[in-house]
Structure 1
Amino acid sequence: MKFLLLLLALTTANVRSAERPNIVWLVSEDNAARFLRLYDPKGAELPHIESLAKRGLTFDHAFSNAPVCSVARSTLISGCYAPRTGTQFHRRLVKVPPPVGLDLFPTYLRGAGYYCTNHSKEDYNYTKNQGVWDESSRRASYRNRKADQPFFHVENFTVTHEGSLHFNAKTFQSQREQLTKEGTSVAPYLPDSPLARFTHEWYLGRHRELDKQIGKFLAGLEEDQLLEDTIIFYYGDHGGVLPRSKGYIYESGLHVPLVVTIPEKWKHLFPGKPGERIRGFVSFVDFAPTVLALAGIGIPEPMDGRPFLGTSVTRSELDARNVTYGYADRFDEKYDPVRSIRRGNFKYIRSYQPFNPDLAFNAYRYRQMLYREWKDQFRSGDLNARQSQFFQPRAAEALYDLDSDPHELVNLAADPSFRSTLLTMRADLRKWVKGLPDLSFYPEPALIESAWKNPVSYGLEHQSDIAELVDTADLSLLPYEEAAPKLRIALQSENPWKRYWAWTACSSFGKQAAEFTETARTAAGSDDNNLVRMRAAEFLAVGGEEQAVPLLTGILKDSSTGPEALLILNTMSALHDGPHACQFPKAKAAVGKRFRNQPAGSLIADRLTYLATSP
């Protein structure tokens, strides 16, 4: 009798567990879709991931909304666009709460009876309430659940992380013959050097190791007889990680692999059959609502994304999705606000500080030998025009046809035959930025001081002001003759952030805006906002005015917080790296030890070391 009762209990538990699918995320770090043979014939052969694809759907157009870990993962865990919620800066100096009325999404799964575990990377820019995970650690496992519980488990794989490319010259020399191959698919914006080929092949090797690790995890699921009850997602947490990918808003930084398996009993939740490829666009902002939909849980209103799987999703509607948005702000000590929209095969990129080249120094990034070689070859004049773009000022807006130009090297923004496309995508991005509203139109130091207790509410309260700041920044898109009188008015505004963006627009015009030089000298010396002073001095430096160096050094000395000093140092570093080649020998003395123990302290130290040691 006891045996029969036990058997009945186990059977009942299995029925209850089977009412909702188990869901697993297999997440690899820093790998764009092009590194997998599943997406590119020259990518790595990954049999376990390819086996998942045969048993499920492969998404040809899956995108991270941000090209770096903490911002991408903050989008994933919330289902919200990061510039709206204050989670757009990597490494966060201050964490922010989730939007009012929204919990990080595993909380909803737990409320519905799921056992939720994360092994083990989080890296969210949100403060986290205690209800998010049952366990999040290196010991976390779905195996610790109750017998009758469905589970959601995240398994993170670090083997492809950017740090795996921080090998040294000894490693390169000892293995270069076996890994430096003819026919290696080096991106055309990189030098086709032995080191570039080696780095690419080395990274493909990291992917093969990743596949072995995934295979081991899948074997555990099979051993536990869970494969038929479990929907498995495999995806990369953003693009990367060779130069001009991670940290950059190009497709190499945003386009990720995504495969989702289809267990037979859950096939009614999928708008496709095993082995099919999905052309419709999905983004990280959609992942949280998708998991909730698969679990039969309602989507919280504050989420920005929408499900791409579940009973409400049809194949025709999914295939029709063709838009994704991207954002980039601060990466460690490197600050460069950029936004993008992709519609179909056209990509529009808006660089709000285009006078700063992509190369602007980032200490962690330049631990990679290939970054350093690339920079050295530019300085010695050994690169062709495409390979040199990374080191030169950019256009304020760029338009790319990804069908003919998948590496985003031919800017069509000035081509009259694409004028209509340009204007439409410019307007669509502007509407999206204003509609969020995008908090990055206030500098990060100001947001930390005023907005971080409730970023979403702050944005809504200041939405009309943000829209005006967007319009001021976008004066740089007008012909100069049309922009000049509007800039003159904005530079006299009582709103310091309107003056801030007006000076940024002036710098975008460069010497075209020379008529504002005297005004800039006055503002750099006496504006009552230190960051407006910085932007005015930056304009002088872009115009080749020598007094910009002592002015910026004095402005740095006057900085009152670590985040403010970090932003000023970013401008100094960008001016040092760009065509102006400014030197700031007194930067370290201007900062002293004031900010050593503040959240930005280590990033400030990186900037000061670079300015003191880089020729």
Structure 2
Amino acid sequence: MFQRTIMDRWMVLFQLIMVFLISHGSIAQERPNIVWITSEDNSKHYMKLYDSDGVETPHIEQLSETGLVFDHAFSNGPVCSVARSTLITGSYAPRIGAQYHRKMKTVPMPDDLEMFPFYLREAGYYTANNAKEDYNLDKGSKVWDESSNKASYTNRKEGQPFFYVHNFSVTHEGQLHFGPEKMEKIPVSTLPPSGNLQPNHPQTALFEYTRAYYLDRIAEMDRQVGELIDQLKEDGLLENTFVFYFGDHGGVMPGSKGYLYETGLHVPLVIHVPEKYKERVSYKAGARVQEFVSFVDFGPTVLHLAGVKVPRHMDGEPFLRKNNKFPNDVTYGYADRFDEKYDFVRSVRKGKYKYIRNFHPFNFDGLWNDYRYKQMAYQEWLDLYRSGKLNQHQRRFFEAKPVEMLFDIEKDPYEINNLAEDPAYEEQLLAMRKELGDWLLSMPDLSFYPEYYLIEEAFDDPVAFGQDHKKDIKNYYATINLAIKDFHEVEKALHRKLQDDDPWVRYWALCALSSFGKEAKTLEDAVNEISKNDPIRINRVRASQFLGICGVSNPMRDIEKALYSTEDPHEALLILNILVQMADGPFGFSTSIEVAKLVPTVAEDSNVIRRLEYLKGK
């Protein structure tokens, strides 16, 4: 008994000594420091390190000489808050309710999971973020030791290991919100050569200038990155520090940021691997890594490098590890609401093939979004479309999308030629469709409910809601999947689903009909009944939308009536999205919203105001 007491005391003393040593740095440097350098809004397509038409980035390239260049690194979301919510949680945003940009309601972290820097702090790391967070989740108080535009690794205790994030905004989309005066002040002759424009872009002087100016901003970002790397060297830290450089999602040339094309998701990633820690990584310094890595994997990778156990509730996996026998070749993407603009798109890339599923294909890519169209190039693209001066590939941005899209990225890097209907690729299409479906049902994907309903019913505990409604979501997915088939095969099934007791089965049956368009006009009577009598307002609106798409009737007055009757600004925003789609599509409808008829909570919402200002100016 006496011996056990002595042993217990020695064990307590040993633990106290270990905590003291870790917190005061005596053994802390046995763990590496980790730095994330993020540049905003640039995909890999604009850097010579990846693309011959890109600009040289000598400081980032120098970083690659002592580390790794990842040729297949991907953001899972093509916009800031969704991408960063994925990064900080190691979790897929549609599973945890963080998929909408920007949040209308912050959601809690899942049970038994914290943002990953929390675990680093618990292990003795100093965590600092300079400065952007932009999470769609409740952060809690123990994620960062410091998060501000003054945050720095230099504020840690002497010798304490650190995780430091530094964000550069010089490449942000807002840099391209210039007017003609910018082009006069900074002539194109002073900028890097623009290189070849994307084949689906108008081949105009404005697009050339926009790309050249964007390349100039990337060159400036590289200079700033070089200053930070030099500071790490001067501080004698580079030999103990993993340094990640990556873009926080895709670029901002039109049709990139906010879209699940490669230009919206495929990011540069370069990682400096310290010589003393090279045995922790399976790849040799200077290698170009072909493994697919996604933002969902970044947090688990940092924890693994720090010797911290990866929580089992994270979706991602470490990609820097000693043994890498089965490298990943799959990445998933998601796009939902961006400010006031709604869509619902999912993607999977496996190897060289990319599959995109448009669950609302009637929401054409070019649907108005105020922030996107602050860019002159977007405005010109739309003007050229309306004046009939675009070719078939350039026009596609403003036209209804296919339900399914399949691309061979190696042959078609800008996703121009859709192979989904080519019989030669049927086997590949079926495999990719299954890959995506298995993934979104396994989460499950919460976006099969409208956002306003999730805010009211699910966002107090999104993960639990998803688990409780897995069977329902599977049913909704099966319903919208009828849009993939020949209409005459599924006409009777869709008719039954229009009369289902579950309102969201009816919702997705209506979306399937709108995907078919005029071909589904035979179900006009059943849809007309829903438009008048369905107890769910948004179903009445979706029914009216279908009748408008088919040319049966002008739906605008009925949709406006629904808008006036809602007290929920989130539901109103979805209704307004449908009004804009019907007004700007090929249907010839017009709308005139009487603001005085809107409920005050609706009329005062900032996203609603942007939609109303756009419709007023049409």
Q: Would the alpha carbon gap of residues 592 and 613 (structure 1) be closer, same or farther in structure 2, given more than 3 Å must change?
A: farther
Superposition deviation, residue 91 in structure 1: 0.8
Superposition deviation, residue 180 in structure 1: 7.8
8 Å contact kept, 2:498–2:527: no
Which residue, 73, 81, 92 being the options, matches 1:70? 81
* 2-structure distance, mates of 1:521, 1:609: 31
Amino acid at match of 1:31: N
* 2-structure distance, mates of 1:153, 1:190: 38
Superposition deviation, residue 16 in structure 1: 1.2
Partner of 1:539: 546
Which residue, 458, 462, 467 being the options, matches 1:451? 458
Partner of 1:21: 32
Which residue, 508, 518, 526 being the options, matches 1:519? 526
Q: TM-score, normalised by structure 1?
A: 0.95
8 Å contact kept, 2:554–2:589: no
Amino acid at match of 1:549: M
Deviations 1:533-574 (A, max 9, x none): 111011011112333111111111122200000010011111
Partner of 1:487: 494
8 Å contact kept, 2:55–2:192: no
Partner of 1:282: 293
Deviations 1:484-517 (A, max 9, x none): 1111111001111110110000000000110122
Amino acid at match of 2:547: L
* 1-structure distance, mates of 2:427, 2:24: 60
Gap regions ≥5 residues in structure 2: 1-19
CA-atom RMSD in angstroms: 1.6
* 2-structure distance, mates of 1:37, 1:602: 40
Gap regions ≥5 residues in structure 1: 1-8
Amino acid at match of 2:285: P
Superposition deviation, residue 132 in structure 1: 0.3
* 2-structure distance, mates of 1:440, 1:177: 43
Task: Give every structure 1 segment of 4 or more consecutive aligned residues whose post-TM-superposition deviation is greater than 4 Å.
Answer: 9-15, 179-183
Secondary structure in structure 1 of the residue aligned to 2:343:
strand
Superposition deviation, residue 589 in structure 1: 4.4
* Count of equivalent residues: 599
1:426 aligns with 2:445: no
Partner of 2:326: 317
Partner of 1:226: 237
Which residue, 256, 264, 280 being the options, matches 1:269? 280
* 1-structure distance, mates of 2:163, 2:264: 27
Amino acid at match of 1:358: D
Q: Would the alpha carbon gap of residues 30 and 550 (structure 1) be closer, same or farther in structure 2, given more than 3 Å must change?
A: same
Which residue, 421, 429, 432 being the options, matches 1:414? 421
* 1-structure distance, mates of 2:320, 2:593: 57
Q: TM-score, normalised by structure 2?
A: 0.95
Partner of 1:606: 610
* 1-structure distance, mates of 2:146, 2:425: 52
Secondary structure in structure 2 of the residue aligned to 1:304:
coil
8 Å contact kept, 1:172–1:195: no
1:403 aligns with 2:414: no
1:159 aligns with 2:170: yes
* 1-structure distance, mates of 2:530, 2:124: 60
Partner of 2:385: 378
* 1-structure distance, mates of 2:434, 2:578: 28
* 1-structure distance, mates of 2:505, 2:519: 20
Deviations 1:348-369 (A, max 9, x none): 0000111221100000000000
8 Å contact kept, 1:66–1:327: yes
Secondary structure in structure 1 of the residue aligned to 2:348:
strand
* 2-structure distance, mates of 1:75, 1:35: 24
1:508 aligns with 2:512: no
Superposition deviation, residue 595 in structure 1: 2.1
* 1-structure distance, mates of 2:588, 2:281: 55
Deviations 1:367-413 (A, max 9, x none): 00000000000111111111111011110000111111110011111
Amino acid at match of 2:164: H
Amino acid at match of 2:612: L
Superposition deviation, residue 592 in structure 1: 5.4
Amino acid at match of 1:298: K
* 1-structure distance, mates of 2:47, 2:250: 12
* 2-structure distance, mates of 1:275, 1:590: 64
Alignment of 1:208-357 (within 5 A): 208-311=219-322, 313-314=323-324, 316-318=325-327, 321-357=328-364
1:60 aligns with 2:71: yes
8 Å contact kept, 1:196–1:370: yes
Alignment of 1:37-56 (within 5 A): 37-56=48-67
Superposition deviation, residue 431 in structure 1: 1.2
Partner of 2:570: 563
8 Å contact kept, 1:333–1:570: yes
Amino acid at match of 1:450: E
Alignment of 1:111-130 (within 5 A): 111-130=122-141
Which residue, 435, 442, 446 being the options, matches 1:435? 442
Deviations 1:286-314 (A, max 9, x none): 00100000001111011000000133x42
Q: Which moved more, 1:173-182 or 1:115-124?
A: 173-182
* 1-structure distance, mates of 2:176, 2:391: 25
Partner of 1:472: 479
* 2-structure distance, mates of 1:377, 1:187: 16
Percent pairwise identity: 48
